[in-house]
Homo-oligomer: A and B are copies of this chain.
Amino acid sequence: MVEVCLLGCGGMMPLPHRRLAALLIRYKGRMILIDCGEGTQLSVRQAGWGFKAIDAVLFTHCHADHIAGLPGFLLTLGNAGRTEPLKLVGPKGLADVVRGLCVIAPNLPFDVQALELSEETSIQIGGVIVENLPMTHTVPCFAYSLYVPRSGRFDAERARLLGIPVSLWHRLQHGETITHAGKTYRPESVLGPQRRGIKITYCTDARPSRKLMLFCGGSDLLVCEGLYGENEKLSDAIEKKHMIFSEAAQVAKESGSRELWLTHYSPSLKVPEEYIHEAASVFPNSFCGYDLKTAAFRFSE
C-alpha cells in the first residue's frame, strides 16, 4: 500500500487558508516529500505521519514557493531527533540554493546531501523507484514519478518440485537469491512475471507535452498543476508556463492515468471546485486537490 497526502494545493504564495503545494508519500513506513515551500513543515505536522521517517525531499525546481521552507524544515527535523543523512534531490542548481538557504540552518545533527539529477534518470529511495522528466518552465524543473514495483506471484508448487525448504520461501518471494546447504536458489525460478506496481506522478510548473503524457503513462494517481480553472485563461497559462484544468485532464486522459488531483492553484483562483467540470468533461476521474487530501493505493488484484 502506498499512501499519499497532498500537503498543500497553493501556487506562488502561501495563503491563510491554503498551504503551498507539496506531496508526502509513505510506503512501508518510510516517506518521501516532494517540494518544501514556506510553511510545508506545518503541513507535515498536520498530516500526522511524523518527521523522522522522511528519507528524501525531491524538489521540482528552486522557485521560492517550492523550496523556501527548507531551512525551517531541516531545523524541525533536527529537533525531532534525526541523525541519519537526508537526501535532497532536484535539478541543476539545487546545491547552490541549498547552500544559500542553509546559512540559517547551521550545525544540523544530520548530514544533508544535495543531489542534482541528470535528466531522465532513475534512482531508488527505499523501495521506491524515482524517475524524473525535465519540464518546460522558466528555470530547470522536473516532473517526478514514484513507482513501487511488485514482484511476480510465488509458485508454491514449483518451489516444492524444486525441493526448496519452506523456511526460504519468504526470502525468495522478496527477490533474494539464497545459497543454502550448497545449493543456490534464485527468485526468478519460483516467481511469475512481474505484476503491476503502484505509480504516483507529480507535475507542477509545466506546460503539457507529448513527452509528459508518456512519462505519466499508467499512473494510479497523477497530481498535476492547474494554475487556472477557466479555459479562457489558457493564454495567461501559456505565458506563465503553467497549465489550466482542462490541460491537466488531457494529460491524465492521454497517459491512461487512473485518477487526477489538481493542485498548485493561483491565489486568484478562489474556489477551484467551481471549475472542476472543465477537467471532468475531459477526464471524468478528476478531483480538486485540497490541503491534506489523503488516499491509499493498493496493488490491484
Binding site for B on A (CB under 8 A): 12-16, 37-39, 41-42, 45-46, 62-65, 67-69, 71-72, 75-76, 79, 96-97, 99-105
Contact = CB atoms under 8 A, between A and B. Distances in A.
5 contacts: A13-B72, A14-B42, A38-B41, A62-B104, A68-B71
Most B CB within 10 A of own CB, among A12, A46, A76, A96: A76
**A interface SS class:** helix
Contacts of A102: 100
Nearest to A73: B38
Report copies per complex.
2
Contacts of A12: 79
Contact of A38 (B16, B39, B79, B100): B39
A45 B37 CA distance: 17
Contact of A100 (B42, B75, B100): B100
A45 B104 contact: no
A97 B104 CA distance: 7
A217 to B, nearest CB: 33
A139 to B, nearest CB: 10
- List the 8 closest A-B pairs by CB distance, nearest first: A100-B103, A38-B72, A100-B100, A64-B104, A68-B72, A64-B71, A68-B71, A13-B76
Contacts of A75: 13, 64
A99 B42 CA distance: 26
A229 B92 CA distance: 47
A63 B16 contact: no
A63 B104 contact: yes
Contacts of A69: 38
A42 B64 contact: no
A14 B104 contact: no
Given A38-B38, A38-B39, A72-B38, A45 B64 contact: no
A62 B76 CA distance: 16
Contacts of A46: 16
A69 B13 CA distance: 12
B16 A45 contact: yes
Contact of A41 (B13, B79, B97): B13
Contact of A15 (B42, B62, B64): B42
